[in-house]
Copies of this chain bind each other. A is one copy, B any other.
Amino acid sequence: MLAPISHPQAVDWIDERTNPMPGEECAVAGAVGRVLAGELRSRRDHPAIPVAAVDGYALSSAATVGAGDYNPLPLRVRDAHQAQVKPEEACKVMSGEPLPGGTDTVMPVEETELRGGFIDIFSPVAAGANVIPPGREAREGDTVLAAGRILRPADTAMVIALGTPTVAVCRRPVVGVVSARNDIADASGAMVAALVERDGGIVDSTVAGVDGLASILAGADHDLLLVIGASGVGANDNAAVALSQCGDVAARGVAINPGETTTLGSVNDTPVVILPGPPLAALFAYDMIAGRAVRRLAGRSGELPYGIRRLELDRKVASGLGRLECCRVRVSAGHADPIAVADNRTLSTAVRADGFVLVPEQSEGFAPGGEVTVYMYDQRY
């Protein structure tokens, strides 16, 4: 039987086995939240030609010299954009439209007065005013988005505007989630499935008895396989035994609390993480170990996907030396209040918590009044 390993050792083991998935082309409109497989460069100047920055009338700035409240300049309104616009004419444009030939500026529509087929201009306007010049958004060859970028909604508009309707994004890793055994593992399995999706994976979910588990393990062809439950040390009817029979067990147990029965190994080149069945332990072991694998495969940072706050600790947090501990906290008014310090088994502590503090292996905890880093369970705060 292998001995437990430290959390940093588990991280190294994960990192050695997980690189971003290869890229696949994907319509950018559906790619928000996906990870760019390579940098995105602009193939052209964008805009290619000057475009209107506002709704208004394109015209020649030279013609407006001397215009004023007591000396309005009337310009004949042209309908079409095709032909050359003359100095005594103006052509209606909407923001984003190219400037017609013969014009070099746009007068905002609200600063004009429409009178029959003419507009009146009441002030001079500078060349280039209210115009987006060529290349202002991007120059040909510019890196617009870096590799590894998690695409935002605004990136969608940028990429479409650049004329590249598809982008190469990391393929989402297919993650097998096998609930090994019982009611507890079922509850944890649904949770882990949601966590895998949060981290960019595609879930292939199964429930299996001990016998079914062995055949699922033997046939593993996922990018990552997570087994939930039956990770207990020393029992002989558990997932680790099944894993050792058809693959390799790399570590029995990781020094984290909760989650110390987490087991690492592989079958057919598929990394396998056996997570504890109890939900609180499954949650912490997922976040600290299995989730790191999912995130890295998905092209994301392996780090915890939670926002961070630095907060003052209201009460003491005690922790055992030699293992990484999770202490759930409630947050209010700049303070973090530990929940149920002695209880690392009850899921409701995580449900009631706003976030958690990590107590490293070499620490026995934190004194009240000190500042700690809190990982926030919710995205926003």
CB distance from A92 to the nearest CB of B (A): 7
Give A90 to B339 CA distance when docked, in angstroms. 33
Contact of A348 among B110, B137, B181, B350 (CB under 8 A): B137
Given the complex, which residues of B lie within 8 Å of A261, measured CB to CB? 55
Task: Say whether B279 contacts A157, CB under 8 Å.
Answer: yes
Task: Say whether A283 contacts B188, CB under 8 Å.
Answer: no
A138 at the interface (CB under 8 A from B): yes
Interchain residue pairs with CB less than 8 A apart (23): A28-B190, A29-B193, A55-B235, A94-B182, A95-B277, A95-B278, A96-B183, A109-B234, A110-B234, A112-B234, A136-B348, A150-B378, A155-B351, A156-B190, A157-B190, A157-B283, A157-B347, A158-B279, A160-B186, A161-B183, A305-B380, A307-B307, A308-B381
A187 at the interface (CB under 8 A from B): yes
A379 at the interface (CB under 8 A from B): yes
Chain A residues engaging chain B, CB cutoff 8 angstroms: 28-29, 32, 53-56, 92, 94-97, 109-110, 112, 114, 132, 136-138, 144-145, 150, 152-158, 160-161, 181-184, 186-188, 190-195, 197-198, 229-230, 232-235, 261, 276-279, 281-283, 305-308, 345-348, 350-351, 377-381
Give A356 to B235 CA distance when docked, in angstroms. 55
Given the complex, which residues of B lie within 8 Å of A161, measured CB to CB? 183-184, 187, 279, 347
Given the complex, which residues of B lie within 8 Å of A235, measured CB to CB? 55, 92, 94, 109
Name the residue of chain B whose CB is nearest to the CB of A155.
Answer: B351
Given the complex, which residues of B lie within 8 Å of A276, measured CB to CB? 95
Given the complex, which residues of B lie within 8 Å of A152, measured CB to CB? 351, 377-378
Give A229 to B232 CA distance when docked, in angstroms. 60
Contact of A157 among B53, B112, B181, B187 (CB under 8 A): B187
Given the complex, which residues of B lie within 8 Å of A137, measured CB to CB? 346-348
Given the complex, which residues of B lie within 8 Å of A158, measured CB to CB? 187, 279, 347-348, 351
Known: A160-B186, A161-B279. 15 other contacts (CB 8 A): A29-B190, A32-B197, A54-B232, A92-B235, A95-B277, A96-B184, A96-B277, A96-B278, A110-B234, A132-B345, A144-B351, A154-B351, A158-B351, A160-B187, A379-B379
Name the residue of chain B whose CB is nearest to the CB of A136.
Answer: B346
Chain A interface, >50% SS class: mixed
Give A41 to B28 CA distance when docked, in angstroms. 42
Name the residue of chain B whose CB is nearest to the CB of A114.
Answer: B234
CB distance from A254 to the nearest CB of B (A): 14
Given the complex, which residues of B lie within 8 Å of A194, measured CB to CB? 29, 32, 153, 156
CB distance from A292 to the nearest CB of B (A): 14
Name the residue of chain B whose CB is nearest to the CB of A42.
Answer: B348
Q: Taking each of A92, A138, A156, which has the highest tally of chain B beta carbons within 10 Å of its own beta carbon? A: A156
Name the residue of chain B whose CB is nearest to the CB of A286.
Answer: B153
Q: Taking each of A94, A182, A345, which has the highest tally of chain B beta carbons within 10 Å of its own beta carbon? A: A94
Task: Say whether A55 contacts B233, CB under 8 Å.
Answer: yes
Given the complex, which residues of B lie within 8 Å of A94, measured CB to CB? 181-182, 229-230, 232, 235, 277
Give A235 to B232 CA distance when docked, in angstroms. 72
Shortest Cβ-Cβ A-B pairs, 4 listed:
A55-B232, A96-B184, A153-B194, A157-B191
